Chains A and B, each alone.
Chain A
Amino acid sequence: MLPSAEVIRDSALGGVLIGLSAVGLLLVDGHIAGISGILGDALRRRAGAWRYAFLAGLVAAPFLAPLAGVPAVIPTHQTGLIGLAVAGLFVGFGTRLSSGCTSGHGVCGLSNLSPRSLVATLTFMAIAAATVFVVRHGHAFPWGL
């Protein structure tokens, strides 16, 4: 079922903001708004100050967004602490190995008409959907899960 018009509007507008951020970082500073890449490079020696500034902007967003009339969002976690720890390892390791995540491959790479990013995006979307299927509907398998 399609979500409400309000949800579709906020999704699209949020996407536009993400797009504007990627446009700004590219056209003004010359960099790709690929978050796993920025975070991974920030852990290495002699990382540019702009990386820390971009990451600080992300962390500051929940404090700044209400000033722009964007209400806070309370996250509902899908798994416990151990699940989150395992997931975090997979997310960190996987995005670094494939040089990109939802922002680097999904938004920037597809915007750049990159076949490489298309392969990555289709792969992580399909595997993520399969993972959610197993976690939520795995009991439907005849052999049980």
Chain B
Amino acid sequence: MARALQSVAITITAGVFGAIFGTGLILSHMVDPARVAGFLDITGDWNPSLAFVMGGAIVVAAPAFWYARRHQQALLGTPFDLPDRFRITWQLVLGAAFFGIGWGLSGICPGPGIVLVASLTTPALVFFATVLIGLRLADFVKHR
């Protein structure tokens, strides 16, 4: 019973945090590919606003990660699921390079790509569907 309750609480709170994340992406206009491309276009009419978004997020999140590194479990009793911080592999660098090509071409990274699905427009759905295919392809390559 306690376990079922914990699972329900985690699910509901995760939904709320997803909505807050999406609202942040909308308020900061990161769901607009033109705004993101404006940041990446450093030799053109550079728009640094993405740096303020990342800066704002990191300033808020860094203390929580500092806490999580020094403690065992989250408020709802689950252990902190922290990834490795130091292993630099060819998958990391090559994957980031591939992501950079796709991000530069479209101006859309996964978060905004999911938020844009709500618009049900063809460009948004095409991007989202191909992201899903790409994710599965990488799973296939990694776990072969």
The interface of chain A, by Cβ under 8 A from chain B, is 1-3, 7-8, 10-33, 35-36, 39-40, 43-44, 48-51, 53-65, 68, 70, 72-79, 81, 83-99, 101-103, 105-117, 119-121, 123-133, 135-137
Contacts and interface: CB of A to CB of B under 8 A. Distances in A.
Given A12-B52, A112-B69, A60 B28 contact: no
Nearest to B42: A129
B102 A87 contact: yes
List the 7 closest A-B pairs by CB distance, nearest first.
A92-B134, A57-B18, A61-B22, A14-B28, A15-B56, A131-B104, A127-B100
A64 B31 CA distance: 15
B125 to A, nearest CB: 10
Contacts of A12: 52-53, 55-56
Given A13-B27, A28-B76, A88-B128, A59 B85 contact: no
18 contacts: A14-B26, A18-B53, A20-B24, A20-B60, A35-B109, A35-B110, A56-B15, A57-B20, A59-B114, A61-B21, A65-B22, A75-B34, A81-B126, A94-B96, A95-B134, A96-B134, A108-B61, A123-B96
Given A50-B10, A99-B91, 5 more contacts: A20-B60, A89-B134, A91-B108, A91-B131, A95-B110
A124 B97 contact: yes
Nearest to B34: A76
B135 A92 contact: yes
Contacts of B30: 14
Interface residues on B, range: 35 or more
Contact of A87 (B10, B69, B105, B142): B105
Contact of A95 (B32, B99, B106): B99
Most B CB within 10 A of own CB, among A8, A93, A95, A98: A93
A30 B113 CA distance: 24
Contacts of A81: 122-123, 126
Most A CB within 10 A of own CB, among B28, B67, B74, B133: B28
A39 B17 CA distance: 15
B62 interface: yes
Given A59-B118, A75-B33, A128-B40, A84 B106 contact: yes
A124 B128 CA distance: 19
Most A CB within 10 A of own CB, among B50, B82, B104: B104
Most A CB within 10 A of own CB, among B22, B132, B138: B22
Contacts of B99: 90-91, 94-95, 98, 101, 124, 127-128
A61 B115 CA distance: 7
Given A77-B33, A119-B92, A133-B41, A107 B61 contact: yes
